[in-house]
Amino acid sequence: MSKVLDHKVTIITGAGSGIGEEMAKLFSSEGATIVVVDVVPERVDKTVAAIRSKHGTVYGMVLDLTKKDDIKKLVDDSVKIFDHIDILCNNAGIMDGFYSLEETEEEWWDKVLNVNLKAPYLTTKMAIPHMMHNGGGTILNTSSVAGLYGGRAGLAYTVSKHGLIGFTKHVAAYYGDKGIRCNAMALGAVNTQIGYGSGKPSPLGLKVLEKTTGSMGRPADPQEIARTALFLVSKDSSYINGSVLVADNGWTVY
């Protein structure tokens, strides 16, 4: 019996924990070949072991996505080992402590933008030629409701996720006629280890955040988000391109 993602070679960044880990396990159960990417070796080993225990096909890579050479290795090795790339999930991301403009140091601004925006740019740029050669592909970017509004995170994270949504729409517009779809998930609170991202959170940032959280309710379980992601990378969403699917338990409807 065929599965939703049978034989689809799928790169998932940030797949060592949280949403990325659950995406990797779920996609594998639906027949995908998974390339697990994370910066922490123990996390990569854990996700790879979980997939192998279910007899899935998986390859783990410990890489720093702020380094262009590491991203090139990711794409080159994936193609070398599995011949092609069908799905790219730009999921890796870091938070920024909910810091305001005055509190955001240039070093932290660069780090957040490099991980959350520059890495998806470079990874997608390197993967797209292989997708076009293979007749098409699917790209899914993990964004946030912080990419739609101004009071859900700190400055650097907010800017990075706004940028990722613009990036998503641009790629969809330019490559849709080449068989490549590109969509994003704008997520609310998710129960993961991402935390605040830079130590002690900003009291000012948390005060602003408190004004917006009344309608949020509970945070999502990563498995719930993984099921949303599965829809967006599968043929079930074949007519969806350049869209931003909001999954926030109604946080932004008020």
Question: How far is residue 57's CA from residue 254's CA, in Å, rounded to a whole number?
Answer: 43
Please name the residue ranges forming H helices in the chain: 18-29, 41-53, 68-82, 106-113, 119-133, 155-175, 203-210, 222-233
Secondary structure (3-state) at 238: coil
Rounded-to-integer distance, Cα 84 and Cα 106, Å? 38
Mapped onto helix, strand or coil, the DSSP state of residue 112 is helix
Look up tokens 């007899």; give the residue: 55
Helix (H, G, I), strand (E, B) or coil at 139: strand
Of 59, 99, 157, 175, the catalytic one is: 157
Examine the residue annotation and report whether 157 is marked as an active-site residue of this protein.
Answer: yes
Instruction: Give me the active site residues, please.
Output: 157
